[in-house]
Amino acid sequence: MLRKSVLILSTCVLALAACSNKSPNTEASPLEQAATQAQTPEAQKNYLTRTPGPGKLTPESLFSDPSLSGTSLRSAKISPKGDIVTVLQGREDDARQQDLWAYDLESGEGRLLVSSTDILGEPEELSLEEKNRRERRREYGSGIISYNWVGDNTLLFPLGGDIYLYDLETKESRQVTATKGFETDPKVFGKGQYVGYIRENNLFVKDLKSGLERQISDGATDLIRNGIASFVVQEELDRYTGYWPSGDAKLIAYTQTDDANVKTRNRIEYTAAGVTNVEQRYPFAGTPNATVKLGVAGIKGGATKWVDIGEEADIYLTRVFWSADSKTLFAGILSRDQKSHKLLKINPQSGASEVLFEETHPAWVNIEVSYRGLKDGSILWSSERNDKWQLFRVSTEDEEASETDDEADVKSAGTFTPVTPPEILMTQLNCVNQDTGDVYFTGWKKTPLNRHLFKGNLDGSAVTQITQTDGQHSASFNKGCERYIGRFNNSQTPPQSRAFKNDGTPLAWLNENKLDGSHPYAPYLAADIQPEFGTLKAADGTDLYYEIYKPADLKAGEKRPSVTMVYGGPHGQRIYNRWQVGMAKMLVHHGFVVFQIDNRGTGNRGKKFETPLYRNMGRPEVEDQEIGAAWLKSQSFIDPDKMGVYGWSYGGYMSLMMLGQTDDYAAGVVGAPVTEWQLYDTAYTERYLGNPNEDSPNYTKGSYENSNVWPYLDGVSEPFLLIHGMSDDNVVFQNSTELMDKMQRKDAQNMQIMTYPSEKHGFRQKHNRLHRSKLILDFFLTELE
C-alpha cells in the first residue's frame, strides 16, 4: 500500500504524519442526522470498482493514441487568397506531435504540407529560453507549434531553433537561419518582406528578399535581455513577446529587461539522470522585479531611441502596440500595487510621452484582453469599468467643435465610447472591418456556461448573435472579416472545425470529428456520462454554477462516495458546457459521483464576482465550496462520510484549505499547491494580498498570514496525497517541502507524497501523466471504499 512506503526524495511515496487536532464535532445537524439514519446495510455497500469493464474509461484509455477526443486542429488561418485554411494538426499515434496541414475551403479536403520530424530527422532540442517560454504559455505540443503566412504562397515556421519557409507552389521547404544560437518568437511583417526573431537575448531582423540579417539591439548579457518579456510578465500578465514592428515596417519597438535586482534562488532539479543545481531569478512577493526600458529603432539599423515611460521604475509594462498610421506608439503602464493602469501615447521619433487615460480600481485592475489602433486615429480597448469586460472606442486626440456641435458631444482625448453592450461579457475581439464598421467578438450573454460569436458595430449600435447552439464557439477570421474558421464543442460534441461566411452560413467541414463508429471515443460512447448543470446561492445571493456527474448504474437507496474537483482561483472558470474526457468521467466510471462548483473569485463573471478575494484568499472560496458540500451531502445518493476533494495548483491550495477549514471531506489529493504566498511571484500575489513588507504602502496586516495554509494545518486530520513536480519553476517545490517539514514536526501520519523528477508545473511526460492519474484513482478507491 502507498501509505506504508518510504520517500527518499525521488519518484516515490512517503507515509508521513497525521494529527487529529480538529475541534470536536458538535451535535449533528438535522440534515446530518437524517443522512446517518439513511445508512441502511444496502446503502453501505462498496459501489467502487478497480476494474470498470469494457467501454469504461481508465487511466490508460485517457492517455491512449489516438486521442479519445479525436483529431484536433490548432492555429487555423485562412490564406491571403482565401482558398485554403492552414492548421497545426496532431498525429494519430501522438496527438502532441504537430505537423503543418492545409484544407481546401470549398471541399474540405486536407493534405500534409510539412512533417516536423522529416525536416529535423532527430528529436528536437529546445533552448532553455524556449523551454521557459513554452512553460509560461502552457504549450505542451512538440514539432511545429507556430507559423505565419508570408505573402500569398509561402509559410514561415520555427523548428529546432531555426526558421524555415515552405513554398506552396514548389512544395518545398528551405531553411532561413542556420546558426548555433536558438531563434525564438519569429514574426513576419512588412508584407512578408521581413522576419524578426530573438537570438541570444538580442533582437534581429532578416530581409527575406535579400537574405540580409541585421542586429537591432545590443548590450545583451545573461541578465540584460532585449525583446523578451520578463518571467512575471509572461506568467501573470499574458505578454509573451518583447518587440513590435510598426505597420509600415520602418520602425520596431522593443523592451530591454534587466534582472539584476531580481532575487536569486537555487532550485534543485531532480531528474532520472541525476541532480542539477539551477540558479533561477524568481521575483518572490515583496522582492524587486526586473526593470524594463522601451526603445524604438529603425528596421534598417541605427541608434535606439529610449522612450519616456515615466519616472517610476517599479512598474509593469503590460501592452505595446502601434497606431494604424504607425506614427504613434502606445504602452500600458501598470503600477506595482496594480490599482492604476495608464495608457501612454508616445512619439516614436522624440521618445516623448503623455498619459492618454488612466484606469483605477480600489482592489486591482485586470489587464485588457483586446486592443488595436483604428484608421481614424482612435483605438479599441477592452475594460471592466462597468464590471463585465466590454469593448470601447477611445479617442486619442481632442476633437475640434464646430458651431453646430453640442459641447457635451465633443470628445476629448481619452474619452471612452461603448462598442459592445454591458450585458454581454466579451472574452475576445475576433475581427474588425473598418470600412463597414462591423465588429465580431466572442462572449456570453445569458449564461457563462456558453461562449458565442456576436456581431456589432464601431458605432455601438445593436448587437446580433451569430452562433446559436449551446457550447463553446470561437472564430478565426480572414483579414477582411468575410469568412471565418469556426471551432465548436459542447458536452456531447468533441471539438469540430468548419468554415463559415461571416453571417454564420456554413461552408466546408475542416474537421467534422463526428462521433460515429470510427471515432476513437466510439467504444466508450454507450457508457458516456453527461454532466448536470445547476446553480446554488452564495451567502451574498450570488449565483454559483456547478456540475455533477452521476454513475449510470446509480439506483435508488444507494449512497455513493464522491470526489469534488476544485480549482477556485482567479481567472479559473471551470464550469461551462464543453467537451470533457478526463479525470471526472474516469472517476464516475469507477463508481464515484463527481462534483465541481465555481466559487466567487473565479473568472468570466465580472469584477464584482472576483473581488471577495481581495486581501482575503482562501476563505471566501472555502465558504462557497462549503455551500456546494452541504448541497452535495443533502442528496439522497451521496454518502456524507465518503467525500473526497482533489485540486491542482490553486486547486491544490484549495484542497488543503478545504480539508483544514471544514469537516466535509474524508480524504484529499493536493497537487502542486501554494502553501505560503510569500513563495509565489510578485505580480499575482501582490495583486490580491498586497505587499508582505510592513514598510510598503501596499501592506495589509494579516493578509498573507491568514491566507497561507499554516493557520489551518491542525485541521488537516484526514489522509491526503501530496503530488509535486520536482522541477516546478512556477509553484516552486519549496511549497511542498515546507509542508512536509511542518507535518513531520507535528509527528503526523496522514500524508502520502509522490514527487516527479524533471516535471515542472504542467507535466509533459506521458508516462508521468498516466502514473499520476493511476495514483489519484488508487488513492480515492482505497480511502473512500
Catalytic residue IDs: 649, 728, 761
| C-alpha cell recorded at residue 739 | 509542508
| Range list of H helices, 527-606 | 583-589
Name the nearest CA neighbour of 322 among 246, 431, 251, 433: 246
CA dist 500 and 493 (Å) reads 18
CA distance 439 to 433: 7
Edge-to-edge strand ranges of the sheet holding 340-346 = 315-322, 329-335, 340-346, 353-360
Dihedral of the alpha carbons of 687, 693, 695, 696, in degrees to the nearest 10: -10
> Is residue 762 a contact partner of residue 139, using CB atoms and an 8 Å limit?
no
**DSSP conformation letters of 169-230:** TTTEEEES---SS--EEEEEETTTTEEEEEETTEEEEEETTT--EEE------SSEEES---
Any idea what the Cα angle at residue 171 is, between residues 168 and 176, rounded to 5°?
85
Residue whose cell numbers read 537574405:
211
Cα dist from 587 to 51, 59, 751, 775, whole Å: 12, 10, 22, 12
- Distance, in Å, from the CA atom of 483 to the CA atom of 502, rounded to the nearest integer, reads 5
Closest CA to 581 of 403, 411, 773, 750: 773
Q: Distance between CA atoms of 113 and 233, rounded to whole angstroms?
A: 35
Within a 13 Å sphere around the CA of 207, how many CA atoms are in the beta-carbon half?
A: 10
Quote the CA–CA distance of 504 and 483 in Å, as a whole number: 9
Which residues, in sequence order, are CB contacts of 530 under 8 Å at separation 6+?
491, 492, 549
Which of 728, 628, 620, 746 has the alpha carbon at shortest distance from 671?
728
Q: Cell 478545504, residue?
A: 658
CB neighbour burial string for 6-25, b if at least 16 within 10 angstroms, e if fewer: ebeeebebbbbbbbeebeee
- Residue identified by cell 445547476 is 534
The C-alpha cell at 137 is 504559455
Going by C-alpha positions, the residue among 461, 450, 226, 237 that lies closest to residue 332 is 237
Cell of 280: 533561477
Strand (E) or helix (H) holding 197: strand 194-199
Residue 539 near residue 453 (C-beta atoms within 8 A): no
Cα-to-chain-centroid distance, residue 409: 41
CA angle 365, 242, 145 (to 5 degrees): 100
What nine digits make up the cell of 168?
506552396
- Whether cis (ω within 30° of 0) applies to the bond prior to 66 is yes
Distance from C-alpha of 637 to C-alpha of 594, rounded to nearest angstrom: 12
Could you tell me which of 29, 41, 44 has the C-alpha nearest to residue 664? 29
How buried is 639 (Cβ within 10 angstroms: 0-12 exposed, 13-18 middle, 19+ buried)?
A: buried
> What dihedral angle (degrees, nearest 10) is formed by the CA atoms of 259, 262, 264, 265?
-120
Q: CB of 494 within 8 A of CB of 511?
A: no
